[in-house]
């Protein structure tokens, strides 16, 4: 993610979890409250 311009985060792990969460929601079509606990913050 460091090579992508316009995406800034001090924690690459948090950025990765965010991207994975968005991908999971897009793929499954689920609502935020139905996300697995691994994606909860």
Tell me if 19 is assigned to some domain: yes
Maximal CA-CA distance, the chain:
32
pLDDT (tens digit, 9 = 90+) per residue, 14-39? Answer: 888 888 888 877 887 767 677 777 76
Number of independent structural domains in the chain: 1
Tell me if 5 is assigned to some domain: no
Tell me if 3 is assigned to some domain: no
Distance from chain centroid for Cα 36: 12
- Give the separation between CA 19 and CA 41, rounded to whole angstroms: 14
Tell me if 4 is assigned to some domain: no
The residue range of the domain holding 16 is 10-40
Given a contact cutoff of 8 angstroms between Cβ atoms, the answer to whether 18 and 35 are in contact is: no
Q: Output the pTM of the full model.
A: 0.53
CB atoms within 10 A of CB 14: 11
At residue 7, the pLDDT reads: 64
At residue 9, the pLDDT reads: 67
């Amino acid at each position: 993610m460091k090579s992508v311009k316009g995406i800034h985060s001090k924690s690459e792990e948090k950025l990765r979890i965010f991207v994975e969460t968005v991908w999971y929601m897009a793929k499954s079509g689920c609502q935020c409250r139905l996300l697995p606990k691994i994606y909860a913050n």
